[in-house]
A and B are shown apart, each in its own frame.
Chain A
Amino acid sequence: DAGVIQSPRHEVTEMGQEVTLRCKPISGHDYLFWYRQTMMRGLELLIYFNNNVPIDDSGMPEDRFSAKMPNASFSTLKIQPSEPRDSAVYFCASSPGVNYGYTFGSGTRLTVV
């Protein structure tokens, strides 16, 4: 298995632009998580899905953030419009269940200028 695949690896965009981050979880993993990592706040859970259904989005910072999981093999995190404070590394992770370790993707380093 190729693991959790995220794209793009790096994204530089101008303030106000729309940004879409993509994730392909490990096949058979029922849970998918989106995390954001910054020096100041560490790893923050933004949203997670179980069997493609959003379960908890309380970590999504604002209405500018949205996430979808149209099928078991694909998820997107969208920021519209982007702001400089959104600059961070965004990780996608998947897991077979709540009592299993998470497998993280390599992350997307987002820079908003």
Chain B
Amino acid sequence: GQQVMQIPQYQHVQEGEDFTTYCNSSTTLSNIQWYKQRPGGHPVFLIQLVKSGEVKKQKRLTFQFGEAKKNSSLHITATQTTDVGTYFCAGVGSNYKLTFGKGTLLTVNP
């Protein structure tokens, strides 16, 4: 079945440093979504990418969808302590099911 791999598993940064997490699917995706889960919380939808090569920005967050629609990345510029949490990518395949990656846990040292 569809698998979504995400790296790194953990990332610790100093406040102000940049952060990137990468997502790779075993199959071509119709779209990809990104979620953030704070410690002890629930996943919160951030954004959806649909088009090949699409790039979207939300303030300090930049999301990219690969040309082949099999990979994606999330980049955070100048991290803040409020960015702490686990970032998940989730891919929608031909079966319309959303498959989540294992997530990247980001910790920020103030």
Contact = CB atoms under 8 A, between A and B. Distances in A.
A99 interface: yes
Contact of A42 (B41, B47, B97, B101): B101
Interface residues of B, number: 24
A101 B45 contact: yes
Nearest to B48: A101
B78 interface: no
B21 interface: no
A7 B89 CA distance: 26
A32 to B, nearest CB: 13
B59 interface: no
Interface stretch (A14-22, A61-69, A76-84, A104-112): A104-112
Interface residues of A, number: 19
A102 B98 contact: yes
Interface string B23-34: 000000011010
B25 to A, nearest CB: 15
Secondary structure of the B contact surface, majority rule? strand
Given A43-B88, A98-B92, A101-B33, A107 B42 contact: yes
A45 B33 contact: no
Nearest to B45: A101
A13 interface: no
A104 B92 contact: no
A101 B43 CA distance: 11
Interface of B: 30-31, 33, 35, 41-48, 50, 88, 92, 95-103
Interface of A: 33, 35, 42-43, 45, 48, 56, 91, 93, 98-107
